Structure 1
């Protein structure tokens, strides 16, 4: 049996590391809340619905296999299934049997879903620019991208993504 983390020789965060970690959490959660509020207010969309519509709007006309969508989003299967059912009821997506995988589904964006994302994207991008991207210089943007490229694969290795 593994020793619980609390009993291991844990390397505690320094004061500076705590500041970095807590600042990152506040930034991440603050941006998520701002995006949620903006999308709900301006488009009657949740950020989860928007997150699904983006890859579907960029996909080939036949849609994406649900397994691919699951991989892209990094979600639990039950969460995706729930969101797809909700979005299908709202007429934004369609699901059909996969022509190549007997157990799989292909998820496609409907004309209504395309209209919804095309209407939502401008306001979303204004928020992202004004609250985030326009505040970063090229070096900060590159640093943030580099951090994501290091951390995300590590989370995948650890089974957390």
Structure 2
């Protein structure tokens, strides 16, 4: 009986809530897909490449331990290791032994990788402006973008809390 009461007391989303949820997820997926396609077409970089290059470009000395890089971009270490191999073959990054720990390796942004990242960033930021920011400018400007920020903050607070 206790089990059946727990099941009955659980709240399920309404049809309207589910519709809003689906719209939210599908719209996010569509934006990510469009951004990824433009990034690849205009720069030859995948979103994974861009994430790695962004993290390294922001890191002190343009280098991070592999484990720290995996944590920053929220990837499994094995996924990152395979991806770094492909990026190394293209000259975007190199892996070097860690100066402070012989067991680890550091991933280092190469000059070629930094150059490709800078070129990709210009077109990627234009795409973000066109596909995301401009949508809110048309619908009420800064107030609409502020509303998106409020929703994002509420979601993060709920997930972190």
- Please state which band the TM-score falls in when normalised by the shorter chain: 0.7 to 0.9
**Could you give the per-residue CA deviations for residues 53-94 of structure 1, whole angstroms, max 9, x where no partner exists?**
111112222511222211211111111111111101111001
1:98 aligns with 2:95: no
Match of residue 146 from structure 2: 142
Counting only pairs closer than 5 Å after superposition, residues 123-142 of structure 1 correspond to structure 2 as 123-136=123-136, 137-142=141-146
Larger relative helix fraction: 2
Q: Which 5+ residue runs of structure 2 have no aligned equivalent? A: none
Match of residue 88 from structure 1: 88
TM-score (norm 1): 0.82
Corresponding residue SS for 1:13: coil
- Deviation of 1:139 after TM superposition, in Å, equals 3.3
Superposition CA RMSD, Å: 2.3
- Deviation of 1:102 after TM superposition, in Å, equals 3.2
Bigger radius of gyration, 1 or 2? 2
**Could you give the per-residue CA deviations for residues 98-125 of structure 1, whole angstroms, max 9, x where no partner exists?**
2223322211110110111111111111
TM-score (norm 2): 0.82
Structure 2 contact 65–107 (Cα < 8 Å) conserved: yes
Question: CA 1:145/1:103 → structure 2, altered by over 3 Å: closer, same or farther?
Answer: farther
Question: CA 1:97/1:147 → structure 2, altered by over 3 Å: closer, same or farther?
Answer: farther
Q: 2:132 & 2:40 partners in 1: Cα distance?
A: 19
Q: Which 5+ residue runs of structure 1 have no aligned equivalent? A: none
Match of residue 30 from structure 2: 30
